[in-house]
Amino acid sequence: MEITYIQVLVLAVVQGACELLPVSSSAHVIIAEKIMGLDLMQGSATCLSAP
């Protein structure tokens, strides 16, 4: 599974917005991953590859 730049951007915005709140930003990123149908725990999805 390859993650797109748009998906990276969405996860970065979620993480950045949640850093301002007194809650776990990591949990919000995990929830966003699940909503987008991503499984970033797989090694192949943790980095972007250029075409």
pLDDT score at 41: 67
Token pair belonging to 16: 């950045």
**Mind listing the pLDDT tens digit for each residue in 5-43?**
998 898 888 888 878 877 776 777 788 788 888 776 665
Query: What's this model's pTM, rounded to 2 decimal places?
Result: 0.57
Report pLDDT for 8.
87
Hunting for tokens 């966003």 — which residue is that? 32
Query: Distance between CA 45 and CA 6 in Å, rounded?
Result: 14
Distance set, CA 40 to CA 21, 28, 44 (Å): 23, 14, 8
28 near 42, Cβ under 8 Å? no
Q: CA dist 33 to 3, 13, 51, Å?
A: 11, 12, 23
